C-alpha cells in the first residue's frame, strides 16, 4: 500500500513560520505530491494525541515549532513511541542562542505575532498622525486617542509623531484667532485632549528663528509680541472651554512633554 506523503505542521501559535520552512524545503524536492497540513494553537496533550493518531497512519513527518517545554517533550516522546519522524524547527537555533549569548528563552508562544501586531499598530498610528496633522481633517479629532491643541510652534507635530511611535493615534489642531476651532473639538472627552501653552518670550524666540530659516523678515507680524499675546489669549480661552489639561512646553524637550502627556492620560483614565 502506498501512503500519501504528508507533513503535519504543528505549532503552539499560528504556525506560519513552520509552514513557510516546510514549503521551502518541499520545493527542493520538486514534489507536488507532498501535502502540508497545518495544526495551529496546539496547547494541550489532547491536541498532540490527535495529531499523533493521524500521523501514525501514513507516510508522514511532523514538523513543529513548539516553545512550551512540556508539550515539546510530550510530542517527542509520543512520536518516538509511534516511530513517527518529528522535526523540531526551533530548538537547534534556540540552543545556539543559549550557548553563544548566555540567555534563556521566554518559552512563550505567539511572541512573533505579537511583535508583528505592534509593528503594524505603530505604522497605522504614524499614518494617522500624518493624515490628521495641523487640523487638516477635523474628522480625525473624534477618531484620535489623543488630541493636541495649541498655537503655532508649540511642538504639536513633533509630539504627534513621537506619540505615534508609541502606537497612539494623535490628531493636532492649531488655534488661530481668525479660524474658529472645529466643532468636533468640543465633542471629544476632555481626557482625550491636551492643551499646549508656551511663554510669550520663548514663542517669540522660536518664531523669529523660524522666519529666519524661511528667509523672511523677523519683524513679521507672525513673531510680534502683540500677535503672540493675542494668539495665546485666544488659545487659553479655547482650552478653558474644552476643559482639557494644559502643559507648558516652554523649556521642555519633546520626549519630556510626551512623558507628561502619557502621565496625564493615565491619571485621567484611571478615574
Exposure class string for 211-248: b at 16+ Cβ within 10 A, else e: beeeeeeeeeebbeeebbeebbebbeebbeebebbbbe
Please check whether residues 214 and 252 belong to one and the same domain: yes
Decide if 114 is inside a domain: no
pTM: 0.63
Please check whether residues 10 and 73 belong to one and the same domain: yes
Please check whether residues 105 and 124 belong to one and the same domain: no
Please check whether residues 143 and 69 belong to one and the same domain: no
Please check whether residues 127 and 260 belong to one and the same domain: yes
Annotated binding site for ADP: 150-157
Domain count for the chain, please give it.
Answer: 2
Domain boundary among 109, 131, 153: 109
Domain boundary among 60, 91, 109: 109
Exposure class string for 191-201: b at 16+ Cβ within 10 A, else e: bbbbbbbbeee
State pLDDT tens for residues 217-264: 767 899 999 999 999 999 999 999 999 999 999 999 999 999 999 999
CA angle, residues 250, 253, 259, in degrees to nearest 5: 105
Cell numbers describing residue 238 = 479655547
CA-to-CA distance for 202 and 232, rounded, in angstroms? 12
Decide if 255 is inside a domain: yes
Please check whether residues 123 and 235 belong to one and the same domain: yes
DSSP 205-223: HHHHHHHHHTT--TTSGGG
Please check whether residues 264 and 149 belong to one and the same domain: yes
Band (pLDDT 50/70/90 cuts) for residue 271 is very low
Instruction: Note the pLDDT of residue 116.
Output: 67
Domain boundary among 64, 90, 109: 109
Please check whether residues 105 and 214 belong to one and the same domain: no
Annotated binding site: 150-157
| Structural domain span for residue 231 | 119-268
CA-to-CA distance for 180 and 244, rounded, in angstroms? 18
pLDDT mean over 104-115: 74
Amino acid at each position: 500500500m502506498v501512503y500519501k506523503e504528508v507533513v503535519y505542521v504543528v505549532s503552539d501559535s499560528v504556525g506560519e513560520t513552520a509552514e513557510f520552512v516546510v514549503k521551502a524545503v518541499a520545493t527542493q524536492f520538486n514534489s507536488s505530491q507532498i501535502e502540508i497540513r497545518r495544526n495551529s494553537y496546539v496547547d494541550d496533550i489532547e491536541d498532540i494525541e490527535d495529531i499523533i493518531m493521524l500521523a501514525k497512519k501514513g507516510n508522514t513527518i511532523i514538523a513543529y515549532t513548539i516553545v512550551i517545554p512540556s508539550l515539546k517533550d510530550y510530542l517527542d516522546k509520543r512520536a518516538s513511541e509511534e516511530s513517527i519522524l518529528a522535526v523540531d524547527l526551533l530548538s537547534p537555533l534556540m540552543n545556539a542562542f543559549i550557548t553563544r549569548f548566555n540567555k534563556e528563552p521566554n518559552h512563550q508562544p505567539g511572541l512573533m505575532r505579537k511583535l508583528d501586531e505592534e509593528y503594524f499598530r505603530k505604522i497605522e498610528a504614524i499614518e494617522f498622525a500624518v493624515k490628521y496633522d495641523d487640523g487638516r481633517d477635523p474628522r480625525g479629532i473624534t477618531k484620535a486617542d489623543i488630541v493636541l491643541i495649541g498655537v503655532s510652534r508649540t511642538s504639536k507635530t513633533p509630539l504627534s509623531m513621537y506619540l505615534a511611535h508609541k502606537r497612539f493615534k494623535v490628531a493636532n489642531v492649531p488655534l488661530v484667532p481668525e479660524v474658529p476651532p472645529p466643532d468636533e473639538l468640543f465633542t471629544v472627552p476632555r481626557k482625550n485632549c491636551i492643551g499646549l501653552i508656551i511663554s510669550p518670550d520663548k514663542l517669540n524666540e522660536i518664531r523669529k528663528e523660524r522666519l529666519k530659516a524661511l528667509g523672511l523678515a523677523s519683524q513679521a507680524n507672525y513673531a510680534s509680541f502683540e500677535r503672540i499675546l493675542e494668539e495665546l489669549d485666544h488659545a487659553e480661552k479655547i482650552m478653558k472651554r474644552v476643559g482639557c489639561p494644559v502643559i507648558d512646553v516652554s523649556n521642555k524637550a519633546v520626549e519630556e512633554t510626551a512623558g507628561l502627556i502619557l502621565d496625564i492620560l493615565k491619571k485621567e483614565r484611571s478615574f
